[in-house]
Structure formats: structure tokens, C-alpha cells
Structure 1
Amino acid sequence: MALALLSTPEELKRDKKGMNIVLNQLLQIVIDAAKSDRYRHDGFHVSEPLGVLVKMFVVEERTLDYVLCHAETQPSSDMHSTIRLFASLLFKFADVLKGTDRLEQFTLIALLNIFWSISFQEIYASELIQDQELIITIQKFVENDQEEEILEQYKPRSMEGVKEAAHGILHNLNRDNKNEIIVDKKNESLDALISNSIVGIQMKPSIMISYSHGDDVFCNKVLDLLTKQSNVFEIWIDRTHCQGVEDLWESIADGMEKASIIVCLLSSQYFESKSCRKEFIYATDSLKKKIVPVLIEHFEPKGWLGIRMTGMKYIRFRGLFESEQSKMTEFLNTILASFPSTKTPINENTSTQLPNHGTPPPSNHLMLPLSPPTHQSLSSFNTLATQSIPVVSQRPCNQWTSSNGDIHAWFAYHRLSTELRDLFDFQTGEEMLDYAQLLIKDCEKQMNIYARIFAKKYNGNDMPPHEFNRFAKALEQLLRDNPRSPMKTNPSTSNKSSTCTIL
């Protein structure tokens, strides 16, 4: 038992042959200890096997399934009896926060974390929902402010605190609607007041950072990098937005709901954290948010995380953050390309064109513009503009591909919708340059052709002609920055304007 308590979840599961035997013994000790007035059996307090079970349930759901449905004990147990066993213990330890016994408080934390693990599985969650006494007991912990009396060392990394666990259980069981309804009503009134009073203000898109506090050092570096682009997007992170809030999870949910994209810093600590799991599942399953996964060092997603990351493009940092300049650029590229077209990261009132004394950057070297200070000289602005951080890599246009994010970033930079981007579906920069040459020959003809294709692809909707015109001008600039051998032209069309005429 001592070895099990000191081991990590992964270490416990390496011995697959003997793991079932260990799980049988752990549950048997819980059953026997629950019958004792002092909650002890064979020298072990009930909190000890419960603590090991919490570890076992963290990263492999098979262990949870085995304990609930297949464990071999005396008397025999099944899902109903095992859940009832945990529930009866929770009722007995429900008031320990009023006392000072740390062992009893640890038992309560372990039980709530076990129920949190159970609540993630739909097949078992339905069993919890039917127990109204259990739901009422857990709801009381959400409203309880006594958790601060529990010492931090009584909450191992594999466990969350009382309030966090209770809130997580209710969220998984969809039993926290009462608070959400109250908040929604307040927000509706406030939103109505704001919308009626303020018109025409364009909000910057918001990025939320989801991370484990075990990765604080890495998170600080990511935050420093993103903060340099604060003129382009807002950054939501718990350390600045959750200070002094009454309901931590309400604040986190609000940040996730308002975020344009969510950057998830993924590591073994993130994977093992139930709070992080709750955030990731809410973002992907409920909100359907765009996720930018960042893998830290050699972490490989699996289980509940791996299946939800299927098809996601991720960035991996294997070494020192500052030494991987190309990865930092790719990270910013991915964020830019992930913004919805309705929330462009480019300030429409700020031009990327330098003043007459400067030279505009080539269109394949996109720069996030820094807004010029109102009281600085022209030469000062030139310096600021040339120091902007590149968001699209310095690769030549003929090296662009759809997979490296450059093409998506180009469309986002020029405020072109994802519908138009997907309509053309360019796979390489060479394709873009080829089409630019064709477009210049007869822009109106191309616009008419693609207007029909657009309507067919998007259920009869009209392609905005002003957006196609912007697209044509951007392609023309791209071609000027990347000159090629001229295509043969038909004399009858050689005098056509390179700019579309909007009728």
C-alpha cells in the first residue's frame, strides 16, 4: 500500500498482469474499512485505498470500469453496490470540513475526486443522477467556503479541491443549471444595456489560455509572446481574470464562451488534471471552439484527450521556448489562421502601408501592424513598423502550402472570409500565383464564373462582389511581389483592367 501511495498513475499501471489483483485488494479494503467505526482495516485507513484509486482513475478509464463492474470482492460487488459504497462514505464524511481532522478531510477530497471521475462516463453518470441525496450533498460543497481551511499538501497533484471537484461533478451531470440561468439573466440585461448604449465598437478577438499550473514556467513564456500582440487580440488567463471572483468556474466558463480560440498547453500534468479535462471537454464538446493545441516536450496525447485531438493541427515545443524561433512563428501563424473571418486580427483602421518615406513589406511577408502613436514623429513610426513581429513566415510564396498555414494566414490577413478561401482551396503558393495571372487577364469573367460556383456551393447565397474585388487586388499585389514569366495573352483581352468592376 505504501508503494502504491508513493507511485505515479503511470507507474502503477505498468504491471498490467498484477493490476487487477491490486484493484481487487484496494476495493476490498474500502469495503471492510467502511464497516469499522474507525474506518480502518488491517492497519489501513479507508483514505489510503481511496487515494490510490483516485490515482488509478486519472489516466486510464479501464481501471474505473474494472473497479465498478468487474472487481472480485467478498461479498461480491457490482456497479450499483460499488457506487452506493462510495456514496455512503461521502455522506459519513460530509461534515468533516467543520473539524480539523486532516485524515478525514483527505478522505472527503478523495471521495469527491472519485465521483468526478465516475461522472465523466455517461454510462455511470446516469446512476449518479438518480441518487437525489447524493446530488444535494454535492451541491452543498459548491456553496461551502470552508475549503480554504484544508492544507494544500492534502491535495495531491492527482486530486482537485473540494469545491472544484463538486462543481466538476455537477457540471458533468448537467446539474449546475441553476447558477447558469441566474448568470444568463444578468448577462442578458447587461448585454441589452450595452448594445443599446454603444454602437459601432469593434471588439478585438479573444484568446484563452488553458493550462496546468504545473506548467507555469512554460505558460509564462507563451503569455509573454502573446502579450506582444495585445494590439491584435485580447488574452484571457485565469491569473488575471479570476482574482477575487466568487465562482471560479463561472469565470472560466465565461472566458471560454467569449474566446475566439483557446490555446491549450498540453502535458502529462494537463492530461492528469480533472480541471483541465473539464475545460478541454467543455471547449470541444459543448462550445465547439477552435483549439490550438501546444504539446510540451515529449508528451503524446492519448485516452480522452487523444480522441478529441483527432484531426487537430498542433505545435510541439521540444526544447527551450526561446530557442525555437520557427516554432514561435508557426504558433503565431496558427493563431492568426484560426480566427473567424468576422473577427479579423487586423485593425481595419490601421494600414500595413508605410508612410511615403518607407517601403511597404512584400505581401508574402505579412506583418501585424503596430498602431502608430499619436504624438510620435514619422521617423519613429517607421521604426515601430519595421519592428513588428512577423506572423506569416518568411518563406517565399512558392514554398507556401495549405498544410503549413501560410495560405490560411494570407486570407485572414486580407480580411477574406473562410467561405472564399474554401471556395478556391489553393493547395500551394504556386497555384495562387498561377491564378493571379489568369485573374489579371479578365477579372470580371472570373468573378462571374466563381459567383455561380459560390452560389452552388453555399446554398444559393451570393458571393459579395466587394470581397472578390479585395481578393483580386491582394492577388495582384502578391504577383507583383513574386514576379513570374508572363502568360500568353489573347490580344482581344490584353487591354482588360486588372481590377474588377462592381456593377
Structure 2
Amino acid sequence: MKKIDFKYIYSHSFLFSLKLAIENNEKLINEIIQQIYQSFEQLRQSLLNFESTNKISSPEVCLNDLNQIFNRLIDLKLNNYSDVMNMFEIILKNYLDLIDMNQFIDIIAHRYACKSNIVFASFFESFNPEGALELTHKMPIKVRQQTYYRILDQICSSKRIHSFLNNELLISIDDKHIKRIVSNFCGLILILVLKILNSLNVKLLDIELKKYQNNLFIPFIKFIDEYFLTSQCSQHDVLIRHILEFLHMVSDQPLTIPIFINAKCPQACLRWLSLPYLNAYEYIHCLQIVYNIARHDQGVIILNECQCYSVLMQFNTDILNNQMDFIIDKNWYEDLQLIYFMTIVLIIDPNELGAESTDWYITYRLLPVISTSMLSRTFRHRKFHISEFMIILMKLCTNDNFIHSISTKKKYELSQDVFDSLDFLLHCVEIERVDYNFLSLDVLTITASANILWSISFHDRYKDKLIENIEIINRLVAFESSDTIDKILPNIYIPRHMSPLKRAMDGILQNLYPKSNADLDIGSSTKSKSVGSLMISYSHVDIDFCRQLYDTFSTIPELSISIDFNSGKYSWKDIAQTIVQSDLVVFLLSQNFFNSKSCRQEFIYVTDTLKKPFIPVFIDTEYEAIEWLKIRINEVKHICFDENDFLNICNQLISMIKENLSLNITVTKNTFDIEQWFHKNNLMLELQEFYQFQTGNELLLYAEAILGTLWTKEYERIRTRFEEKFKQKQLCLSPHDFLKFINALNALKSKNLSSTA
């Protein structure tokens, strides 16, 4: 007798039952979806034919049918994210179509408001945001993003929602009660949508959000602005909170900040923080949005133009230290103090911060949360990732006094704690996290930490600790050469005060193991003795002034000028070789130069290691050198530029260069007329306005850069931005017009080469 395999029978039976359950569930879902479509269609028809509608197909009956469906969904408790989000999008679209109908106001809002509210409450409960939150976490990243943008598209397509947000809710019945009903209904839809959007938590870019700037972000900000400025209390306080939370979560990703700047959100948030009657949640979200804006370089510029520092100081005095909510709740108070301090650090130069108060914030606010984050499995303190704290610490460390102050703290050993976090983070990236969002934050934290170590490495007293951890430094070097960096960098925002990882690593190793010109393969110089070799060292923030100076000096045949934006050489090895090969180095000094670790490295290499001739040039008459810079130029002859007498001071600088190089040099003014060149070549003058070329040399530099690539790539890169800039003129940039521009550049470059041969 054949032996019966009960295990096989049980397994087969289980799989069959599971398959049957799945099929039945899919059948049930499809049945409910069909019922939703039918019920909404019947409701639309009953509204369109209201006068001739009988009791069997009346709006009330249709609303009852919808209520039964939503109650069925509540009992069903969908546990598949695909079913939940699909169902939500279908119902949302039908609801938005419904409220866009005039009959919705004339009939539903006027006669069936209570019934409609009951039905919507059932809809709201059937998609309990808490349950949706749990399910959205299971969704693949790509599916989440696609769902996010589809929901945004639906909201933006509704004329009624758009008019509601713009406070232009036009309805045919002039009744305040009806307007309130419609307004409440629009608000409820938005609350549910915003809850779902916030739970999706997707990676956002400004290029993807740009199409929502005018029809969503600007209306949101205007809606809040009017609410705050015209009334201290209204029926929309819950909606306001959810909109603020949405703006806070979107702005938490610095790549989205250009959208907020274009929507004038910085100005609005500072205006709101100045109001004395907001509630605690509103203040918290407003301050967090301002902080997020300050994480972007362009955001810092706008905030400073709007007197952000003064507004925050007043907020700290009047609100943060006085409002009862913050006095009672210690966690709220400490979190807001931390956000306040981090925002101040981002918008103010570290050398302008008050030493005593800053030291207090570092000791009692920043360092404790860094320690907490390091011990956390997710590297977070509440909603803040450790990368945010390390970027703040990195900026503070451009001031040597803060480095020494932090290093003396009993509970925090700066360099060792940074190395400990790096050790763990390098392990995370070496095993390659599946989620690129996590990996991006790891890379950002590693880069910020390397910048901190670079600042520390300028000081002899800390070098032994760095050398003790040379193994981790070597792992950083190896990581920098991996392809992970190239994968991640396009998806993260790097502030300008953060140097690339390779530059930081080169800087650390140069400081720990200084290399002189004997260690460099500099090759043989082929320059004529009648030509002086000059290198210009500057902060990239001051590139406009540097280009102006370079344009003037480039007309002098007796000078061979080396500068990175012309040579394309940015690595430390290339820079060191250029310094060694140069007869003289001109340093363009400013606060930006002082704060740049790259500039500090170049300066010390010239003055301390090579002891090479140099000329300090102050490009800002109000800047005064301090600390390491002041020590090295104290007795050196320098020159100060005044923007009102540029050419005359150029002649003074040339005289100093002549003294150092023993050359006979005179300055001639560049007479290249850019506008005339565009006219002569019959080119679109808007291209000149778009690129904003100031000199002939800038035009030549652009030609050299662009002619080495396919012109179609540059055309695609600028076409959309060009048309956006000139949309009021309704100008389009055709391939033909751009090719004419490229051909004219080619001719200009060829002419320039033949004239200098």
C-alpha cells in the first residue's frame, strides 16, 4: 500500500486556500470599486436632473449608498497598500469632480449638508491616516513617489479647491452659511489629502515640484498668510496646521528650497514669526521651515535680505522665553532653542557669533543631541538626522576658538567622537544600504565629518589624535574613490561651505604629512623669462570679483596667469603644483576667503611650507583679518580694492607685481563690446541677458568650456530656464537660434587663438 504524504496534502491544501482567499479578496475589491463608480455617477446624474429626479434615485439615496460602501470599507479593514491607495485615489477624484459641479453647491450644500458630512466622515474613517501611515511604509519607493505626484495632480486640477485656497470661493447662492459649508468641505478634503501625502514621505526635487509652484505652494502660503493676518481664530485652524506640516516636511529636503523661495515663503514665515498670537504648533512649524530654508545657500541670502537675524532675536525674547506652552513643556522649549540656534549659525558668519552665548548653546543644546544621535540606531534625535547637526558643527569649526572650546568639554571629545561616528557610518556604506535615502544621509554625514576633521587638522595640538585614527582616514580615502559617491551626489544638496570629500581628505593628509615642492612631480617650466607666472587664490563665493580682475590682467602679455576656473584644475595635487610653478601668488582676501578651508590650505602652503612671495589683496574695504590670517600678513605689504576706483587700484597692484617679478607691465582696459558682438552676429539679445556676460573674457571662457561638448546638451540644459525667464515676452529658444550663437562663439574663439599665436 502506497504511503500517504500528509505533509504534501496539507501544504497543497493551504496554498489552494490562500490562492482562493486572494482571488475572493480581489473579486470583492473590484466589486466595491465598481459600486463606487456607479454611486458617484448616479449622484452626478441626480444633481444634473434634480428637478425630474424621483425619490428612488434622489441625491439623498445616492449619498446613503456611498455611506454604506464606506462603512463596508471600514469593516473590511484593507491591509494591502495597493488596494488602499488605489481606492483612495478613485474616491478622491470622484469627490473633487463632485465639488467642482455648481449643483453640489446649489443642491448638496443647500439641502443635504448634514448627510454629505456624515458620508465624508465615513470616507475619512475608512482611510484612517494612522492605518494608511502603516501601509505606506510598506510601499516601494518608486510607487510612493508616483502615488504622491498623482495625488498632487488631482488636488491641483480642482477648480473649487484652487478658488478656496485663493479665498475666491465664488458660489451662485449668496449665503454665508452655504459658503461656510462648502469651505469646510474643501478644508476637510485637504486635511485628509495632506495626511496621506505626509505619510508617504518621498524624496522630492525642485525640478519635479516646479509645476505645483504656482497652483499649490503659492496658494498654500497666501491662504496661511491671510488667515494669520486677518483673524486670530477661525474654523480652519486644523487645516492651517496640516498645511504648515506639509510645507515643513517638503522643505526638510534642501533640494526643494528654490520652490519655497519663488513662492516667497521665507518672507511669509518671518512675518508669521513676528506675530504675537500664534499657537505653539504654528510657531514650531514656522521656525522649522525657516531653518530648512537656511540650509540652502540661496535661502540664506534671501533670509538675510529680510533681516532674519533680527526677527529671530525678537522671537527668542518675546515668544520662546515667554509663551506659556514653551515654559510648561521642556521638550518643546529645548527643541525650539536648538532650531533657533542652528538657524542663527547657518545665516550668520561664525566669527560674528557671541562667544559666550554660542558656547552655552553648543554645550547644552548641540553637543547633547549629537551624542544622542550617535547612540540611536537611526542616527536621529527626534526628527533631526545627525547630518544636520554635523553640518552646524562643521560651520562652527571654521572658527578656531569654537574648536578649542568644544575640545575642552568633559563629556565630549571632538575628534574621537567624530571618528567613532565615521567608523560606524563607513560600515553602513560599505554594506550598501538598500534605501538610497539612508545612504544619501550617510554620505552627507561622512562629508561633513571629514570637513570637521580637516578644520581640526590645522592645529598641531590635535594632530596626534588624528594620526592615531589614520586607519579610519585611510578608509575614508578608499571610500571617496568608490563609485558610491558618484551615485549619491546628484541626489543630495551640498552647501557651499562644505568642501567635497576628496578635497577634505587631501587637506587632512597634507596637514598631517606636509609635502613640499620636492615631493611633487612638477615637470619642467617652459615659460619665457620675459613672462611672469602669477597664481590667483580666491574663495569661490567671490568669483565675480575674481573674474573681473582676471579679465583685466589677462590683457597683459607679460603675465601668465593661473586660475582654477580657467584651467579646470581643482584637486589639491594640481593646486599645489600650480603654486610651486608660480613666481608669485595673489590672495584675494575676504571673510569668505578666511572661512574657506581650501583657501587656508593654499595660504599656509605658500607662506609656511614654501615661503613663496605673495601679495595680500583685500577685496572688501570693511574686512579686517583675524586669527591665523592676521598673524601671517601682519607685516606684509598689502592692497585694498575700492569698487569705485577699480582700474586705478589695478595699476597699484600691477606696480607691486612689477616689484616682485622685475617686469615692465602696464594695464590696458578691455574694450570688447559684448552687446555690439551680439548685434554684429545677428544673435538674440535675450541670450546676452540670460547669460549676463560682463566681459569679452567671460564670453571666451564660456566658449572654451561649451565647444568641447555637444551643443545640443547645453541647449537642452538652458532651454526651459530661458523660456521661463522670458515667458512674459512669450519667447522660445529654437535650436536654430542657439546654433547661430554656438557658431559665433566658435568664430570668436578661432579669431582669439590666431591673434595670440
Please give the TM-score of this superposition, normalised by the length of structure 2. 0.40
- Give the letter aligned to residue 238 of structure 1: D
1:315 aligns with 2:315: no
Residue of structure 1 equivalent to 2:554: 227
Show the counterpart of 2:663.
Answer: 345
Contact 1:204 1:232 survives alignment (8 Å):
yes
- Alignment partner of 1:86 out of 401, 418, 421: 418
Partners of 2:667 and 2:370 lie apart in 1 by 59
Q: Secondary structure of the equivalent of 2:649?
A: helix
1:38-117 alignment runs, 5 A limit: 38-58=378-398, 60-69=399-408, 71=409, 76-77=411-412, 79=413, 82-94=414-426, 96=429, 100-101=436-437, 102-117=440-455
Equivalent residue in structure 2 for 1:286, among 606, 609, 614: 609
Deviation at 1:141, TM superposition (A): 4.3
CA drift at 1:224: 1.2
* Cα deviation, residue 263, structure 1: 0.8
Aligned residue among 436, 456, 472 for 1:118: 456
- 1:22 equivalent in alignment to 2:344: no
Deviations 1:152-191 (A, max 9, x none): 86222321111111111111111779x985x53xx5xx54
1:133 aligns with 2:471: yes
8 Å CA contact 2:586, 2:614 repeated in 1: yes
Change in Cα spacing, 1:204 to 1:142, as seen in structure 2 (3 Å) is farther
Q: How far apart are residue 314 of structure 1 and its match?
A: 1.4
Task: Describe the superposition over 1:386-430 as per-residue Cα deviations: whole angstroms up to 9, x where unpaired.
Answer: xxxxxxxxxxxxxxxxxxxxxxxxxxxxxxxxxxxxxxxxxxxxx
Secondary structure of the equivalent of 1:262?
strand
- Counterpart of 1:31 in structure 2 is 371
2: CA distance between counterparts of 1:280 and 1:265?
11
Distance 2:454 2:647 in 1: 40
Matches within 5 A, 1:345-494: 345-346=663-664
Q: Normalized per residue, which structure has more helix?
A: 2
- Shift of residue 266, structure 1, vs aligned partner: 1.1
d(CA) in 2 for partners of 1:159 and 1:256? 23
Q: Distance in 2 between matches of 1:169 and 1:118?
A: 9
Structure 1 counterpart of 2:576: 253
The count of residues paired between Structure 1 and Structure 2 equals 320
Q: Which amino acid aligns with 1:292?
A: I
C-alpha distance in 1, partners of 2:642/2:540? 19
Q: Distance in 2 between matches of 1:304 and 1:223?
A: 27
Q: Is the 8 A contact 1:211 1:219 kept in 2?
A: yes
Match of 1:336 among 658, 669, 672: 658
| 8 Å Cα contact 1:170/1:176 also seen in 2 | no
Q: Which runs of 5+ in 2 are unaligned?
A: 1-337, 669-757
Q: One-letter code of the match for 1:29?
A: V
Give the structure 2 partner of residue 160 of structure 1.
Answer: 499
| RCO higher in structure (CA 8 A, sep ≥6) | 1
Q: Partner of 2:646 in structure 1? A: 324
Structure-2 change in CA distance of 1:214 and 1:265 (3 Å): same
Aligned CA distance change for structure 1 residues 63 and 319 (closer, same or farther; 3 Å): same
AA aligned to 1:215 is D
Question: Structure 2 vs 1, CA of residues 273 and 151 (structure 1 numbering), >3 Å: closer, same or farther?
Answer: farther
Q: Displacement, 1:203?
A: 6.3
Q: 2:7: which partner in 1? A: none
Alpha-carbon shift at residue 319 of structure 1 (Å): 2.1
Identity %: 28
- The structural deviation recorded for 1:150 is 1.2
C-alpha RMSD of matched pairs (Å): 2.9
Write out per-residue CA displacement over residues 126-151 of structure 1, whole angstroms, 9 at most, x where no aligned residue. Answer: 21112232232233245346534414
For 2:531 and 2:659, how far apart are their aligned partners in 1?
Answer: 15
For structure 1, list consecutive stretches of 5 or more residues without a partner in the other structure.
347-365, 370-503
TM-score (norm 1): 0.58
Query: Residues 28 and 275 from structure 1, CA distance in 2 versus in 1: closer, same or farther, beyond 3 angstroms?
Result: same
Which of 315, 336, 340 is 1:3 aligned to? 340
Task: Give the whole-Å Cα distance in 1 for the aligned partners of 2:351 and 2:654.
Answer: 39
CA distance in 2, matches of 1:114, 1:294: 28
Residues 211 and 270 in structure 1, CA contact (< 8 A), matched pair in contact too: yes
Tell me which residue corresponds to 1:268. Answer: 591
SS in 2 for 1:150: helix
Distance 1:141 1:315, change over 3 A: farther
CA contact (8 A) 1:12 1:19 kept: no
Contact 1:214 1:269 in 2 (8 A): yes
Read off the aligned partner of 1:173 and give its amino acid letter.
L
Q: Distance in 1 between matches of 2:351 and 2:545?
A: 28
Letter of the 1:55 partner, please give it: K
Distance 1:108 1:367 in 2: 49
List, as ranges, runs of 4+ consecutive aligned residues in structure 1 with deviation greater than 6 Å: none
Question: Alpha-carbon deviations, 1:282-302, whole Å to 9, x = none?
Answer: 111111111111111222111
Aligned residue for 2:643, secondary structure, equals coil
Larger Rg: 2
- Give the drift of 1:122: 0.6
Q: Which AA in structure 2 matches 1:67?
A: I
CA distance in 2, matches of 1:325, 1:135: 47
The one-letter amino acid of 1:324's match is: F
Q: Report the 3-state secondary structure (helix = DSSP H, G, I; strand = E; otherwise coil) of the residue aligned with 2:558.
A: coil
Q: CA deviation at 1:232?
A: 0.8
